[in-house]
Structure 1
Amino acid sequence: MRSLARWTAVVVTAVLFLLPFAVLVREGWSALGDVFDDRDVPFVRSLLNSTVVAVAQTAGQVVLCSLAGYGLARIPYRHAPKVLYAVVATLMVPAAVTFVPTFVVVSSLGWLSDLRGLVVPGLFSAVNVFLFRQYFLDFPVPLEEAGRLDGLSRWGVYWRVVVPNSTGLLAAIAVIDFIGSWNQFLWPLVIAQDSSTWTVQVTLSSLLTAQNPRIPLLFAAAAVSLLPVVLVFAVLQRYLVRGVAETGLSGQ
């Protein structure tokens, strides 16, 4: 009886979860070709822009945050705890507080309607630095010592020993960062003032206006825009739980 109730709950939950996607595909399928043919909607360009931004931010965060986390965990430095506290303290600052100053800096650099203005502010994450540090604190020291005995520098140990043995966490962070970057809306809406630099989320919002809501096109575009996220998640999903567990944040 418990098994039947459990499976019923699973099926009902799955149906409720998949129902919006079924409606999305059904309603948007007929307008799929129009999304790519409509010259007023730079959908293909926005897909390319979102891909560039998401890939660049993901790669940047994985590289920079892993280096910062490794340095805080392994490089002897008397001020390392203070640096860590400063990094973690930034998590207590609401994003709304830094939004305007960041916009002023980007504007002063001339990066409005420029992909640099979309990418650069998202290349660093205090959360990721903390996660990498927690992971590297428990990284096997004998592996690093073996690398040093083989004549590797500290950079060589990081690149040739630490990174190949940290693929689970790296992939997990990459999945989270890619999805978060792909789904950004407010910052691209403000920075990408020219349609040539719109991301896919901004393009989707342009299809839903009070004056002329284009629901079929919106559904079709939304369905297509989901594909990269679903593909990335499907390929790397097994690393997601494993990576979070390896950081020691699984509650155990």
Structure 2
Amino acid sequence: MSVLHQQAGETSGKITAGQNPRKLVRGNLVRTTFVYAALIVCAVLFLIPFYIVVRNALMVQPEITSFDWHWWAQTPQWNNLNTLFNDLVAPMGTGLINSTIIATLTTGGQLLFASMAGYALARIPSRWSNPIFFLVLLTLMVPSAVTFIPKYIIVNQLGWVSTLQGIIVPELFSGFACFLFRQFYLNFPHELEDAGRVDGLGYFGVYWRLLLPNSVPIMIALGVISFIGSWNSFIWPLVIGQDQSSWTVQVVLSTFITAQTINIPELFMGVAVAIVPLLILFLFLQRYIAEGIARSGIKG
């Protein structure tokens, strides 16, 4: 016992002699202050664009283009919102409805097809699994602009130009989503799959009854990413949506900028309205994004 007490006394003496508690507290305080200051600066930098959007949305055009800086609208123009939704040239209501339909169906289709493909590549034994997965990875390296002309030719031959299905169907398949689902299913416990096979489940039964219900984190993470990407998509909806009935939010916003004029207040009010659904979606589901990607196990 005396030896133990002696060793404990020597250890505590070394800690006390080597480290000054006041210096430790001061160092922690400085470090914490620096971290919080850096976080505040980053938060302000990220919030500045949102502030500019809301400020300009409530101003009149001369006030925005004036050389005199105004921190806020002198008289907030709330009627800009009414003007936005009553504009017959730029149907914002139609754009919101179309974007919601397109983003929802595209997201659902990507999750369904990518989860099935990821399951097949990860859990069904086949000599073709790795070559097919390699081809899937190759699709991630091809710029999307390269496929625009072939996709447009196919959509045009199907008679889908100026239709919502012409925008939705070509975007239902995502190599990135397939990759993440494969990685997620590679780490799925084999014991559950074996138990399902004992109960008489085939490959599709195991996928539908066991793997898919346990894929909620990765599905939410990919769903949020896919929905935001589809909502913000501009070039493909612009090419396919050639009349107002098939315009999305981003296409509607582009109509405020012409070769002759720019309707700045209405443009910024439209941007503010278009951001709201994404903010709500992200605020409610943000914790699932990191969790889902972390559980996907990005490793071989």
TM-score range with shorter-chain normalisation? over 0.9
Asked if 1:202 corresponds to 2:251, the answer is yes
Give the equivalent residue in structure 2 for 1:140. Answer: 189
Give the equivalent residue in structure 1 for 2:66. Answer: none
What percentage of aligned pairs have identical amino acids? 50
Q: Residue by residue, what CA displacement relative to the aligned partner does 1:53-110 show, whole Å, maximum 9, x if unpaired?
A: 1001100000000000001111122222221122222222222221111111111111
Q: Residue by residue, what CA displacement relative to the aligned partner does 1:200-222 show, whole Å, maximum 9, x if unpaired?
A: 00100111223121111111111
Residue type of the alignment partner of 1:225: A
Give the equivalent residue in structure 1 for 2:31. Answer: 2
Secondary structure, aligned partner of 2:212: helix
Instruction: Write the mapping of 1:161-240 to structure 2, written as runs, cut at 5 A.
Output: 161-240=210-289
1:26 to 55, 61, 66: 55
| TM-fit CA distance, 1:38 | 1.6
| TM-fit CA distance, 1:153 | 3.0
1:56 to 102, 105, 111: 105
Q: Residue by residue, what CA displacement relative to the aligned partner does 1:13-49 show, whole Å, maximum 9, x if unpaired?
A: 2112112211211221421111112222210001000
Asked if 1 retains the 8 angstrom alpha-carbon contact of 2:110 and 2:173, the reply is yes
Q: Distance in 1 between the 2:42 and 2:248 partners?
A: 32
| TM-fit CA distance, 1:156 | 2.1
Q: Distance in 2 between the 1:70 and 1:246 partners?
A: 15
Q: Which moved more, 1:76-85 or 1:225-234?
A: 76-85
Q: Distance in 1 between the 2:201 and 2:94 partners?
A: 44
Give the equivalent residue in structure 1 for 2:166. Answer: 117
Q: Distance in 2 between the 1:92 and 1:6 partners?
A: 37
Q: How many residues align?
A: 250
Q: Distance in 2 between the 1:209 and 1:222 partners?
A: 17
Q: Distance in 1 between the 2:268 and 2:138 partners?
A: 41
Q: Distance in 2 between the 1:167 and 1:221 partners?
A: 33
| TM-fit CA distance, 1:235 | 1.8
| TM-fit CA distance, 1:223 | 0.5
Asked if 1 retains the 8 angstrom alpha-carbon contact of 2:187 and 2:297, the reply is no
Q: Distance in 1 between the 2:198 and 2:83 partners?
A: 62
Secondary structure, aligned partner of 1:166: helix
Q: Distance in 2 between the 1:233 and 1:42 partners?
A: 26
For CA contacts below 8 A with separation 6 or more, give which structure has more relative contact order.
Answer: 1
Give the equivalent residue in structure 2 for 1:70. Answer: 119
Q: Which moved more, 1:19-28 or 1:216-225?
A: 19-28
Asked if 1 retains the 8 angstrom alpha-carbon contact of 2:163 and 2:241, the reply is yes
Superposed CA RMSD: 1.4
Deviating 4+ runs (over 4 angstroms): none
User: Which structure has the larger Rg?
Assistant: 2
Q: Distance in 2 between the 1:84 and 1:99 partners?
A: 23
Q: Distance in 2 between the 1:107 and 1:212 partners?
A: 32
TM score, norm. by length of structure 2 = 0.80
| TM-fit CA distance, 1:229 | 1.0
| TM-fit CA distance, 1:166 | 1.3
Residue type of the alignment partner of 1:199: T
| TM-fit CA distance, 1:225 | 0.5
Secondary structure, aligned partner of 2:297: coil
Give the equivalent residue in structure 1 for 2:19. Answer: none
Q: Distance in 2 between the 1:20 and 1:84 partners?
A: 40
Q: Distance in 1 between the 2:143 and 2:45 partners?
A: 33
Give the equivalent residue in structure 2 for 1:14. Answer: 43
Q: Distance in 1 between the 2:139 and 2:45 partners?
A: 38
Question: Which sections of structure 1, spanning at least 5 residues, go unmatched?
Answer: none
Q: Distance in 2 between the 1:225 and 1:78 partners?
A: 46
